[in-house]
Amino acid sequence: MTTWKQLTIYIGESDRWHNQPLHIALIETARKRGLAGATVTRAIEGYGKHSTIHTTHILELSSDLPIVVTIIDREEALNEFLPVVKDMVKDGLVTMQTVEILHHAPKSESDR
């Protein structure tokens, strides 16, 4: 069992970085920096510090649904990436927590 860290970034779907969606910019930057793995999840409903509910309900169409970007790697790698995240995320929440890696079986080159 290995202990790594999970960086979780809560942003809005309409957040941008250099004219592209922020979640795409975060994922691409994490990949270019060689971080172990990242996932983007689009939420169906949520609210943040302004208590405005953003939802997929048809009667309350929202163009700013919650997005969660999760990145898992060694603590040192995430600490090096954190200043970049802080620069890119102008309105959002960033957390880091310890995770235990119970199973990690990446495909080998011959399986691809």
Architecture of the domain made up of 2-103: 2-Layer Sandwich (3.30)
DSSP 60-85: G--S--EEEEEEEE-HHHHHHHHHHH
Rounded to an integer, the average pLDDT of 2-11 is 93
Distance, in Å, from the CA atom of 26 to the CA atom of 37, rounded to the nearest integer, reads: 12
pLDDT in tens, 47-80: 777 776 666 665 555 567 899 999 999 999 999 9
For residue 43, the model assigns a pLDDT of 84
For residue 46, the model assigns a pLDDT of 75
User: Domain segments of the chain: what residues?
Assistant: 2-103
Q: Name the pTM for this structure.
A: 0.83
